Structure 1
Amino acid sequence: MKKYIIYIGILTAGLILGWLLFGNSSNSEEKHNHESSQTENQQWTCSMHPQIMQPEPGDCPICGMDLIPAETSADGLEKNEFKMSNNALALANIETTIISNTTNSAGSLTLSGKINENEKTNAIQTAHFGGRIEKLFVNTTGEKVNQGQQLALIYSPELVTAQKELLTAIESKTKDLTLYKAVRNKLKLWKLSESQINKIEESKAIITNFPVYANVSGIVTKKMVEEGNYVKEGQSLLMISNLTTVWADFDAYEKQLSTIKKGDDITITTNTNPNKELKAKISFIDPVLNTSTRTVVVRAELNNRNGELKPGMFVKGVLASSNVKSNKKTIISVPKSSVLWTGKRSVVYVKKQGDEPIFELREVTLGNEIGEHYEILNGLSENEEIVTNGTFTVDAAAQLQGKKSMMSPEGGIVVTGHENHIGMQDTGNDQNGEAEVVNRIKVDSKFQDQLSNLFTSYLAIKDALVNDNTKLTQTSAITFIDNLEKMDMKLLKDSKSHNVWMPILEVLKSSSNKISSTTEIKIQREYFVSLSNNIIKSIETFGVNRKVLKQFCPMANNDKGAFWLSLDEEIKNPYFGQAMLKCGSTEATIK
Structure 2
Amino acid sequence: MKKENIIYIGIAVVVGLLIGYLIFGGSSNATNETEHDHSAEIASGEMWTCSMHPQIMQPEPGSCPICGMDLIPADSAEEGLMANQIKMSENAMVLAGVETVQVGAAAGGEESIKLSGKVTVNQKSDAVQSAYFDGRIENIFVNFEGEEVKKGQKLATIYAPSLVSAQQELLTAANLRQSQPQLYKAVRNKLKLWKLTDAQIDQIESSGKVQENFPIYANVGGVVSEIMVEEGDYIKTGSPLVKVANLNSVWAIFDAYENQLSLFNEGQMLNVTTTSYPNETFSAQVSFVAPTLNKDTRTLEVRAELDNKKGLLKPGMFVQAEVEVSNAQDESLTIPESAVLWTGKRSLVYVQPDANNSIFEMREVQLGNLRNGSYVVNSGLKSGDLVVAKGTFTVDAAAQLQGKKSMMNQEGEEMQMGHEGHSSMGGTMKMEFSQEVQDEFADLLEVYLDLKDALVTSNREQTQTLAKKGAGMASEIIDMQMDDMGKTHMSKLAEQLTDMASKEDLDGQRDGFVLLSQNMIQIGQQMQSLNTKLYVQHCPMANNDKGANWLSLEEEIRNPYYGDAMLTCGSVVGTID
Of 541, 547, 552, the residue aligned with 2:552 is 541
**Within-5 A mapping of 1:416-427:** 427=444
**1:253 counterpart residue number:** 257
Whole-Å separation in 1 of the counterparts to 2:531 and 2:186: 71
**1:413 counterpart residue number:** 415
**1:306 counterpart residue number:** 310
Q: Decide whether aligned partners of structure 1 residues 176 and 152 sit closer, same or farther in structure 2, where only a CA change above 3 A counts.
A: same
Q: What letter matches 1:306 in structure 2? A: K
**2:565 counterpart residue number:** none
**1:529 counterpart residue number:** 526
- 1:378 pairs with 2:379: yes
Q: What letter matches 1:293 in structure 2? A: T
Q: Decide whether aligned partners of structure 1 residues 122 and 384 sit closer, same or farther in structure 2, where only a CA change above 3 A counts.
A: same
Whole-Å separation in 1 of the counterparts to 2:530 and 2:195: 57
| Contact kept? 2:449, 2:552, Cα under 8 Å | no
Whole-Å separation in 2 of the counterparts to 1:316 and 1:181: 58
Q: What is the SS of the residue equivalent to 1:274?
A: strand
Whole-Å separation in 1 of the counterparts to 2:281 and 2:314: 16
TM-superposed CA distance for 1:385, in Å, is: 1.4
**2:221 counterpart residue number:** 217
Whole-Å separation in 1 of the counterparts to 2:392 and 2:377: 17
**2:10 counterpart residue number:** none
Q: Deviations over 1:313-369 (max 9, x none)?
A: 22222223xxx4365311111111112233333222222326442222222222111
Whole-Å separation in 1 of the counterparts to 2:190 and 2:243: 27
Q: Decide whether aligned partners of structure 1 residues 542 and 341 sit closer, same or farther in structure 2, where only a CA change above 3 A counts.
A: same
**2:209 counterpart residue number:** 205
Q: What is the SS of the residue equivalent to 1:298?
A: strand
TM-superposed CA distance for 1:80, in Å, is: 2.6
Whole-Å separation in 2 of the counterparts to 1:259 and 1:428: 40
Q: Decide whether aligned partners of structure 1 residues 237 and 344 sit closer, same or farther in structure 2, where only a CA change above 3 A counts.
A: farther
Q: Deviations over 1:181-200 (max 9, x none)?
A: 22222111111122222222
Q: What is the SS of the residue equivalent to 1:404?
A: coil
The gaps in structure 2 that reach 5 residues or longer are: 1-51, 56-73, 423-440, 458-516, 537-550, 556-575
**2:468 counterpart residue number:** none
Q: Deviations over 1:366-407 (max 9, x none)?
A: 211111111111222222211111222223223333333333
Q: Decide whether aligned partners of structure 1 residues 128 and 431 sit closer, same or farther in structure 2, where only a CA change above 3 A counts.
A: same
Whole-Å separation in 1 of the counterparts to 2:263 and 2:449: 55
Q: Decide whether aligned partners of structure 1 residues 104 and 222 sit closer, same or farther in structure 2, where only a CA change above 3 A counts.
A: farther
| Contact kept? 2:111, 2:371, Cα under 8 Å | no
**2:344 counterpart residue number:** 343
Q: What is the SS of the residue equivalent to 2:278?
A: coil
Q: What letter matches 1:297 in structure 2? A: E
| Contact kept? 2:224, 2:242, Cα under 8 Å | yes
Q: What letter matches 1:413 in structure 2? A: M
Structure showing greater Rg: 2
Q: Deviations over 1:514-551 (max 9, x none)?
A: xxxxxxxxxxxx9983445795524973559xxxxxxx
| Contact kept? 1:366, 1:377, Cα under 8 Å | yes
Q: What is the SS of the residue equivalent to 1:394?
A: helix
Whole-Å separation in 1 of the counterparts to 2:227 and 2:399: 51
**Within-5 A mapping of 1:20-31:** none
Q: CA RMSD in A?
A: 4.1
Whole-Å separation in 2 of the counterparts to 1:358 and 1:183: 92
TM-superposed CA distance for 1:125, in Å, is: 1.2
Q: Deviations over 1:410-441 (max 9, x none)?
A: 44436689xxxxxx89946679989849889x
Whole-Å separation in 2 of the counterparts to 1:49 and 1:181: 100
| Contact kept? 1:184, 1:197, Cα under 8 Å | yes
Q: Decide whether aligned partners of structure 1 residues 156 and 429 sit closer, same or farther in structure 2, where only a CA change above 3 A counts.
A: same
**1:271 counterpart residue number:** 275
Q: Deviations over 1:141-169 (max 9, x none)?
A: 11111101111111112212222333333
**Within-5 A mapping of 1:447-462:** none
| Contact kept? 2:129, 2:218, Cα under 8 Å | yes
| Contact kept? 1:109, 1:319, Cα under 8 Å | yes
Of 118, 129, 132, the residue aligned with 1:128 is 132
Q: Decide whether aligned partners of structure 1 residues 337 and 273 sit closer, same or farther in structure 2, where only a CA change above 3 A counts.
A: farther
**2:335 counterpart residue number:** 334
Whole-Å separation in 2 of the counterparts to 1:286 and 1:428: 37
Q: What is the SS of the residue equivalent to 1:387?
A: strand
**Within-5 A mapping of 1:34-113:** 75-113=79-117
Of 150, 155, 162, the residue aligned with 2:166 is 162
| Contact kept? 1:340, 1:406, Cα under 8 Å | yes
| Identical residues among aligned pairs (%) | 46
**1:364 counterpart residue number:** 365
| Contact kept? 1:407, 1:414, Cα under 8 Å | no
Whole-Å separation in 2 of the counterparts to 1:159 and 1:430: 60
**1:191 counterpart residue number:** 195
TM-superposed CA distance for 1:276, in Å, is: 2.4
TM-superposed CA distance for 1:107, in Å, is: 4.0
Whole-Å separation in 2 of the counterparts to 1:199 and 1:71: 98
Q: What is the SS of the residue equivalent to 2:106?
A: strand
**1:399 counterpart residue number:** 400
Single out whichever of 209-218 and 251-260 deviates more from structure 2: 251-260
Whole-Å separation in 2 of the counterparts to 1:527 and 1:174: 82
Q: Decide whether aligned partners of structure 1 residues 174 and 410 sit closer, same or farther in structure 2, where only a CA change above 3 A counts.
A: farther
| Contact kept? 1:438, 1:541, Cα under 8 Å | no
| Contact kept? 1:408, 1:414, Cα under 8 Å | no
Q: What letter matches 2:407 in structure 1? A: M
Q: Decide whether aligned partners of structure 1 residues 401 and 434 sit closer, same or farther in structure 2, where only a CA change above 3 A counts.
A: closer
| Contact kept? 2:349, 2:388, Cα under 8 Å | yes
Q: Decide whether aligned partners of structure 1 residues 190 and 307 sit closer, same or farther in structure 2, where only a CA change above 3 A counts.
A: same
Q: What letter matches 2:354 in structure 1? A: Q
Q: What letter matches 1:256 in structure 2? A: Q
Q: What letter matches 2:316 in structure 1? A: G
Q: Decide whether aligned partners of structure 1 residues 186 and 174 sit closer, same or farther in structure 2, where only a CA change above 3 A counts.
A: same
Q: What is the SS of the residue equivalent to 1:251?
A: strand
TM-superposed CA distance for 1:170, in Å, is: 3.5
Runs of 4+ in structure 1 over 6 Å off: 47-50, 70-73, 430-435, 437-440
| Contact kept? 2:355, 2:386, Cα under 8 Å | no
TM-superposed CA distance for 1:289, in Å, is: 3.0
Q: What letter matches 2:231 in structure 1? A: E
Of 239, 244, 269, the residue aligned with 1:240 is 244
TM-score (norm 1): 0.58
Q: What letter matches 2:408 in structure 1? A: M
Q: What letter matches 1:84 in structure 2? A: M
Whole-Å separation in 2 of the counterparts to 1:335 and 1:166: 77
| Contact kept? 1:332, 1:375, Cα under 8 Å | yes
Whole-Å separation in 2 of the counterparts to 1:433 and 1:134: 52
| Contact kept? 1:150, 1:213, Cα under 8 Å | yes
Q: Deviations over 1:191-226 (max 9, x none)?
A: 112222222223332212111111111111222222
Q: Decide whether aligned partners of structure 1 residues 275 and 198 sit closer, same or farther in structure 2, where only a CA change above 3 A counts.
A: closer
Whole-Å separation in 2 of the counterparts to 1:207 and 1:49: 91
Q: What letter matches 1:541 in structure 2? A: S
| Contact kept? 2:227, 2:243, Cα under 8 Å | yes
Q: Deviations over 1:436-467 (max 9, x none)?
A: 49889xxxxxxxxxxxxxxxxxxxxxxxxxxx
**1:29 counterpart residue number:** none
TM-superposed CA distance for 1:229, in Å, is: 1.9
Whole-Å separation in 1 of the counterparts to 2:78 and 2:348: 27
The gaps in structure 1 that reach 5 residues or longer are: 1-46, 51-69, 418-423, 441-503, 512-525, 545-564, 567-591
Whole-Å separation in 2 of the counterparts to 1:528 and 1:301: 39
Q: What is the SS of the residue equivalent to 2:332?
A: strand
